[in-house]
Amino acid sequence: MSKIGMALVVREMNFNFGPVMIRNHFTIAVRSFFNSKGYSFINVAGLAVGLACTILIFLVVRHETSYDLSQSRLERIYRVETENIKEGHTYPGTYTGMAQALRTDLPEAEVIAPLMQRGGKTMAAGALPAGSYSQEKKNQRPAFRESVVFADNALFRALDYTWVAGNPAHALSQPNAIVLTRAYAKKYFGTADVLGNTIRMDNKQDLTVTGVVEDYPATTSFPFNMLVSFATVKQIDPGFEDNKWNGWNDNFQVFVVLKKGVAPEQLTGRFESVVVKYMGKEALPDKRFKLNHLAEIHYTGNLGGRSANVGLLKTLSVIGALVLLIACFNFINLSTARAFKRAKEVGIRKAIGSSRKSLIYQFLTEAGLVTLFAGIVALVLSVLLLPVLAAALAIPLTLDDDLFTGSTALFTGFLLLLTTLLAGIYPALRLSGMAPIWALKSNSTVRAGQWFSMREGLVVVQFTVSLVLICCAMLIDRQLDFFRNADLGFNKSAVITVGLPDNKPEKLHTLREQLIRSAQIKDVSFSFNSASAESNWMQAMEYRQGPKVVQVKTQMKMGDSHYFDTYGIRMLAGEPLKDSDTTRNFRIIVNEVFLGRIGIDSPRAAIGQRVYYGDGNEFATIVGVVRNFHVNSLHQKIDPTIIQVVPNNFYQAGIKLQSENASAASIQAALADIEKAWMEAFPDQVFEYSFLDETLAQAYQSETRTARLIEAATILAVLIASMGLFGLATFTAEQRTKEIGVRKVLGASVGSVVALLSRDFLKPVVLAIVVASPIAWYLMDQWLQNFEFKISVSWWLFVAAGSLMSLIALATVSFQSLRAAMLDPVRSLRSE
């Protein structure tokens, strides 16, 4: 090599990373960006949407996976959960006797912290001694409907709390003590200096404020604003059993802090001993207690009221990656498609001594510039869409605390770098690899076939992703329609539910008398909960027939004589309940599933049979059988169910309206009558109501949110893919301008030219339909396994999705094809 050539090589090596070369690369990148405004717009728009989608999903996933991770004892905190072995289902709640049992029988535990949640409590600031306030002053006092949690001081040794006032060692030691968060202290008293003040609960129990703690963080499974001492429970509910082993509720949970060095796997034997000691050896095949780590309870039922769906988080992550990927594919396709326009530039650069490395830097700089512009647009989109996403997912995401943070900035920077490499590395390698002699030929496309094959493959991937999303969105919507229209075995329409702050017979009698006077109300029932509810009361029952004993885990439904008429539950045999069925030996009604479990085939044969509560002597007599109805959501099987009259456990009123298709005016009239009756029965309580059908729909919030997210992702994926296809069609039409002119001169019609140009682009779409259909079928079949009651995957769904995608692609391509076919052939045949 000559000295001059060697000097040029050394010079280029020295300046590849120098300021001059960087400025040169940047200048050329800016010039290229603005010289191809149409392609630049498509690339920026596609990448911006993909980047914004990825950033927003990152914020959601980061938030949902960070719950409780800041607890100082995180590695040692577990929740005791109840597993039904035969069902293969684990419940977050446990028996009320568990806390004391573990204090006695689990020396490996450092702290035992029981928690019990009760909702629907009317709370007001200041005591109301009898006769000390006028009714007018009572009405002026602010009162709120709250959920309270009963706990003891062990909670403060298990979880981290920052105390504003009070002593954590004694704050919940005595009855009638309450600890507030700072926000709630200000809500009720206007200040955080509230020690010694009182909060009145349900207008009958005065609670003294013994402590104030700082507000809880957004990422906690314990968002408790009111902590009441456990010693208070007996005073407000004399029938509460704190050592019960024959029934549990998920609202009672026990947390354990293990001593250092103790692993949960070491305690299997301990928990088996608890089963044998307190429930009997015969319970071992069916019952198991297990420890679930604190970091995991956000993904299962918890007292905080909201859980993350692991499947939804995985789906979101995959969707974000796919949307960004197809946006990168647009960049790759358009860059390689435009290769012949850059061919002479590449040839000249190589002829004057540019190395392949220098060209790679140049094209990566161009990709980085496009990505930078896309990142700016993506940030604007994220600011605009974050509130919408937070509301749709019911997640407390904010701009200051989530988007504008250091970790988000690091992630965004990494994402921009990754996107630059994903979108730019292949075009950079392909363009820089062109031989100078071939590159300098006049618009030669000898190697175009190879690049077209690559582009065709990327188009197939883009439309495969879009088709899978379309199929998934359509099937999820069908499943949700099935949920909405399924026969639940009872009538959920025109039923208003209201929580009962007091279940004394005289109070309920007053309320009923007032309600049935309304012309808008058909019937009223008092019960533990609705015919279908997510909060369940599970009870172990036994059917004894000689030496044979059948144990059945049963869901208890407690309601009055109006329960079946209010909810439209159909009797199959026997007689309905009576309000007088409250003696010790209960009269009960069971469902068909319960009969199947105890081995009775005929509903009539069950009448008069006895079933026992647990392994004791207390029994109930079956007086009726009802048709199966869905006591849970359609995610689960129908439980064996017993309905009985237990007035002490009536916490809800179900009010059936006269018309199931009531007008807005009649509904408002009914609500006015209900509130008036309520205020007469409970003058010092807060009135709140809900419609049963809306409450039941909340059980499918996760699926509804998944559907909306997939629909949004589908729109974005199809939009990005269509933009890319539009760009390719535009470029192909430009590239084949002379060919089109020749064909038209020789007599080709506009239709034949359009068909010619469109055919090549529809081939990858058809291939995408073939590839996407089995993938979508598999994914949806797996998703449907989450439901006990579900639809089937129909073949026509894939035909409909494929047809829709073909129409979108045809409309996208035909616009440019028609435009090219309509050009004057004289203009098309002009010399370049």
Distance in angstroms (rounded) separating the CA atoms of residues 474 and 117: 39
pLDDT digits (tens, 9 = 90+) for 447-490: 444 444 577 788 888 888 888 888 888 888 888 888 888 888 98
Determine the average pLDDT of the residues in 776-786: 87
Backbone angles phi, psi at 430, to 5 degrees: -70, -45
Q: Which has the minimum average pLDDT: 18-22, 208-212, 292-296, 497-501?
A: 18-22
Best CA proximity match to 798, nearest among 774, 779, 831: 774
Confidence of residue 337 (pLDDT cuts 50, 70, 90): low
pTM equals 0.77
Task: Report the share of the chain in percent with pLDDT over 70.
Answer: 84
Determine the average pLDDT of the residues in 304-330: 82
Residues in the chain: 832
Stronger pLDDT, 698 or 128, i.e. the higher one: 698
Beta carbons of 531 and 557 less than 8 angstroms apart: yes
Beta carbons of 171 and 156 less than 8 angstroms apart: yes
Predicted pLDDT of residue 41:
84
pLDDT digits (tens, 9 = 90+) for 790-828: 888 888 888 888 888 888 888 877 776 676 666 666 555
Best CA proximity match to 98, nearest among 207, 231, 245: 245
Predicted pLDDT of residue 582:
73
Predicted pLDDT of residue 396:
87
- Greatest mean pLDDT range, 7-11, 178-182, 648-652: 178-182
Predicted pLDDT of residue 819:
67
- Tell whether the model's pLDDT for residue 711 goes beyond 60: yes
Beta carbons of 94 and 279 less than 8 angstroms apart: no
Among all chains, which residue has been given the structure tokens 């354990």?
Answer: 256
Q: Which has the minimum average pLDDT: 104-113, 526-535, 810-819, 822-831?
A: 822-831
Predicted pLDDT of residue 832:
44
Mean per-residue pLDDT of the chain: 83
Beta strand segments in 407-461, E: none
Beta carbons of 81 and 291 less than 8 angstroms apart: yes
Beta carbons of 501 and 120 less than 8 angstroms apart: yes
Determine the average pLDDT of the residues in 242-270: 87
Beta carbons of 299 and 307 less than 8 angstroms apart: yes
Q: Which has the minimum average pLDDT: 141-145, 411-415, 502-506?
A: 141-145
Residue 360 has, within 13 A of its CA and on its CB side, a CA count of 10
The residue type at 215: D
The residue type at 808: I
- Tell whether the model's pLDDT for residue 563 goes beyond 90: yes
Query: DSSP of 130-177, one letter per residue?
Result: TTSS-HHHHHHS-EEEEEEEEE-THHHHHS---EEEE-TTTTTSSTTE
Best CA proximity match to 44, nearest among 335, 342, 378: 378
Helices (H) and strands (E) counted in the chain, each on its own, are: 26, 23
Determine the average pLDDT of the residues in 240-244: 83
Confidence of residue 134 (pLDDT cuts 50, 70, 90): very low
